[in-house]
Amino acid sequence: MLTLSKVSKNFGGLTVLEAVNLSIPARGIFGLIGPNGAGKTTVFNLITGLLTPSAGTIEFFGQRLDGMAPFEITRRGVARTFQNIRVFKEMTLLENVLVALGDHPSYGALSVLLPLPSHRRAEARERERARELLFRVGLADKADRFAGTLSYGEQRRLEIARALATGPKLLLLDEPAAGMNSVEKDNLMGEILKLSDGALSILIIEHDMRFVMEICQRIAVLNFGRLIAQGRPEEIRANPVVIKAYLGQDDDVIGGRSGVAS
């Protein structure tokens, strides 16, 4: 479904990504890991159109994404969340999701001018959809609170609700578990597994190895802008190149739950 072919990205003299080949099928949960600065968020930025590749192509369902405007890419079915949360703090949760629903609105622009009942009904329908999405991520009871009052973990879930509002076929989650305690992480894992039941593909950037190994079916590993390994979690865990790349990182990071390879 999503194919990156020989994608490279340079900033001036700095090469951030080099000849990356990545392939994501239409269903499932996939992980993108690597040490800090490996270029993971850059991959997300390239896919979503915030950056254009210096070389290589990105295809989504056969269509070239590179060079397309970001909003077009989102409309084609690619949604994302951010590493540093970007919810609209001064809007309510409901309003946050409503904005995201705006890309396939249920009423035309001109109908705004007339207080017709059809317009009111359309607005009510949108609010219903927004509430449903909030319900999916467990935030329905907080719908009328300002997003800035939420806890970190709740704001992350709001971001996910917003991303889902655009009806994506591919969901990019940038460090969704960051800043969460283990209970929240377990809940998040459950939610992500539930989400992937539909015709949805999820690509996750994450530093928490346990998280990634538990829910991802395939994992790609980046280091210094290059793809150094791809495969099932067990394969990645045992891959010497990967382990070497992480040397200097915490030992518990690789190896499963209790620091022991399982």
Partner 1 sequence: MEWLDSFWSTYSTLVLSLGTNVLLALSIYLTLSCGLLSVANAAFMGLGAYTAALLTLKSGMALWLAVMAGVLLPALIALAIGRPTLRLSGVYLAMATLAFGEVVRIVILNTEALTGGALGLNGIPQLTEWYDIAAAVGMALYVLLRLARSRIGRTMVAIAQDETATELMGLNVRAFKLFAFVAGAGLAGLAGGLNAHFTFFISPNEYGFDRGVEILAMGVLGGTGNPWGAAIGGVLITLLPELLRGLGHYRPLVNGVILIVIILYSPKGLWELFRLARPSAAKATL
Partner 2 sequence: MLAQQFVNAISLGGVYALFALGFTVVFGVLNVVNLAHGAVFMLGAYAALQAVLLFKLPLLPAILVAMLVTAGAGWLLDKFIFAPLRARQAPHLAPMIATIGLAIALNSTIQGLFGAENLRFPAEMLPADGLSFGAVQITWLEVEIIFLAFALMAVLLWGLKKTQIGWALRGLAESVKAVALVGVDVEGLFRVTAVVASLLGGVAGVLIALYSNAVFPGMGQPMLHKGIAVVILGGMGDIRGALLGGFFLGFAEVFSVAYIGSTMRDAVAFGLLFTILLLRPQGLFGHAAQRRA
Considering only residues 41, 155, 166, 201, which one is a binding residue for partner 1 as defined by CB under 8 A? 166
10 contacts partner 2 (rule: CB under 8 A): no
Q: How far is the CB of 50 from partner 2 (least distance, A)?
A: 5
Nearest to residue 191, comparing CAs of 161, 148, 170? Answer: 161
User: Does residue 75 touch partner 1 according to CB under 8 A?
Assistant: yes
Phi–psi pair at 106, nearest 5 degrees: -95, 5
**Residue 131 touches partner 1, criterion: CB under 8 A:** no
Segment contacting partner 2 (CB under 8 A): 29-37, 79-87, 96-104, 210-218? 79-87
Q: Does 48 bind partner 2 (CB under 8 A)?
A: yes
Q: Is the Cβ–Cβ distance between 19 and 226 less than 8 Å?
A: yes
The beta-strand segments (E) located in 84-178 are 170-174
> Residue 83 binds what, of partner 2, partner 1, none (CB under 5 to 8 Å, by partner type)?
partner 2
Percentages helix, strand, coil for the chain (3-state, rounded to 5) are: 40, 25, 35
Of 32, 101, 195, 219, the residue at the interface with partner 1 (CB under 8 A) is 101
With CB under 5 to 8 Å by kind, the binding choice for 141 among partner 2, partner 1, none is: none
Task: Check binding of 50 to partner 2 (CB under 8 A).
Answer: yes
d(CA 57, CA 38): 20
Q: Are strands 28-33 and 201-205 parallel, antiparallel or unpaired?
A: parallel
The residue from 15, 23, 83, 111 that contacts partner 2 (CB under 8 A) is 83
Scanning 30-38, 40-48, 111-119, 232-240 for contacts with partner 2 by CB under 8 A, the matching segment is 40-48
Residues 153-182 interacting with partner 2 (rule: CB under 8 A): 174
Q: Provide the binding-site residues for partner 2, judged by CB under 8 A.
A: 41, 44-45, 48, 50, 80, 82-83, 174
